[in-house]
Amino acid sequence: MKWLAAMLVVGGVAHADPLALRADAFASTAAPAGLLTLSADGDAGPGLSAEAVVWTGQTTATAADRADGDVLVIALHARTRDGRINGTLGRFVATLGALRPVQVDGGRARVRLPYAIDVDAYAGIPVLPDLTTSRSWDWVTGGRVARRIGDWGSIGAGYMQQRTDGELATEEVGFDAGAALGNHDDLAGKLAYDLANPGLAEATITASDRRGALRGELYATYIAASHILPATSLFTVLGDVPALRAGTTWTWRAAPRLDVAADLAVRRSDGDAIDEPATAPATTVGEVGEVIAPAIVLRATLRLDDRGASALGGELRRDGAGDSGWTGARATARFALPWALSASSELELVVPDHDRGLGRVWPWVLAALSRTWGPWHAAVALEAQASPEDRSRLDALAQLGRTWGKP
């Protein structure tokens, strides 16, 4: 795979026109210690294009999943002139409607049929890190049929099946819908149902209204953890309390340079255990209760110039309840300086409700200086924190990037 990646990248450099190439070097005293990423895009005519992102570097991951290099994306895209048929071959992230995204080595195709019907399908081998070849009898395939409704909406239904070592790991059907209702309102929803261990795996619905500087959204999400796990995992047989979150998000351009946002939600999830009678037989597995917890985010961003090159931001958060509750504050700042320099800083304070001896406040701060000149971009930063893992820690980060062939 490494050789294929290198050949495609180099081949793209030689033949594709126009071609864009980007190289980014990243170094940090925290993991990963050093990283070089190469990205390339090439168009070989109106219906054929290719893209690739490969990386190599030294990470501090454990021996089990250590990777010295890998391919993030390497894909060849082809489409007919009218756009009715298109396909991709290579490594990519397959996303189909409500079905969960899967990174695969394989192919996908999309056909736009008469009567506003679209058919999508993909098949391939699920990607594992580190260019591993020990993937016999691992495969995933999925498809989706969708119907566009005028120019204001669509509905779709999809199916996917994934096998690991030939055994059923995931089998799911998904349904999705989206609509623009009038000039101000949008509605979208998706639902995934686990067929391997029958039950609702994930569902989301969102409705928004936008009028001038004000936008409001109502949403609800449902996630059943045991249905998200692969069916080959023993922990799918336990059942669980699904996490349910419902809330509303409001964004308001209060002034030409001032944006204010609020996300007010409640979350129902796992709670304290229900007391079981002492006479209960020792062979029963404990039942769990449910709690309603707030999830609140208040945010404001003030641009200090019309282009937003300099800006200030603030954020307050309150999340969870019981042993998972916490309160946080975050402040961000960016200042444009002479000579194309930019200074930015970010500060976060997290106060857990129950510190468990891991510190009452977990501060995190970053100060960065960056410069963009022509095709070059460089940045350095210092990051300091006190976390449950480290009483105090200081890291340095650096990044250098260059682009070739961009307009």
Partner 1 sequence: MRRLALVVVLALAACAGVLGLTRSEPRPFPHRAHVFAGVTCTRCHVGIDRDDGTSLHVPDDRSCIECHSKPHDSHPCLGCHAAPNALPELADARAHLVFDHKTHTAPTRGDCVRCHVGVAESDQHLRPPMATCFRCHDHDASRDARTCNACHRDLEDSATLPETHLAHDGDWLREHGTRAASSGDLCQSCHRDRFCAECHGKTVPILPATARFDDVFAPTIHRAGFESRHALEARAEPGACTTCHSPDRCASCHTSLGVAGDTRRSPHPPGWVGPTPADNAHGREARRDPTACASCHDGAGQSLCVGCHKVGGVGGNPHPVGWSSRVPLSSMPCRLCHPIGSRP
Question: In the complex with partner 1, which residue's Cβ is closer, 14 or 234?
Answer: 234
Q: How far is 357 from 334, CA to CA, in rounded Å? A: 35
In the DSSP assignment, the letter for residue 18 is: S
For residue 20, the minimal CB distance to partner 1 (Å) is 8
Strand partners for 381: 368, 397
Question: In the complex with partner 1, which residue's Cβ is closer, 11 or 171?
Answer: 171
Question: In the complex with partner 1, which residue's Cβ is closer, 123 or 241?
Answer: 241
Query: Which tokens sit at 28?
Result: 């940090």
Contacts of 150 (CB under 8 A, 6+ apart): none
Question: For residues 175 and 191, is the Cβ–Cβ distance under 8 A?
Answer: yes
Question: In the complex with partner 1, which residue's Cβ is closer, 11 or 363?
Answer: 363
Question: In the complex with partner 1, which residue's Cβ is closer, 245 or 402?
Answer: 245
For residue 376, the minimal CB distance to partner 1 (Å) is 14
| Torsion angle of C-alpha atoms 370, 374, 376, 380, degrees rounded to 10 | -10
Q: How far is 341 from 373, CA to CA, in rounded Å? A: 9
Question: In the complex with partner 1, which residue's Cβ is closer, 13 or 109?
Answer: 109
Question: For residues 11 and 38, is the Cβ–Cβ distance under 8 A?
Answer: no
For residue 7, the minimal CB distance to partner 1 (Å) is 18
For residue 329, the minimal CB distance to partner 1 (Å) is 11
Question: For residues 124 and 104, is the Cβ–Cβ distance under 8 A?
Answer: yes
Query: Which tokens sit at 341?
Result: 């320099």
Q: How far is 393 from 407, CA to CA, in rounded Å? A: 41
For residue 353, the minimal CB distance to partner 1 (Å) is 9
Q: Where are the alpha helices (DSSP H) in 124-239?
A: 225-228
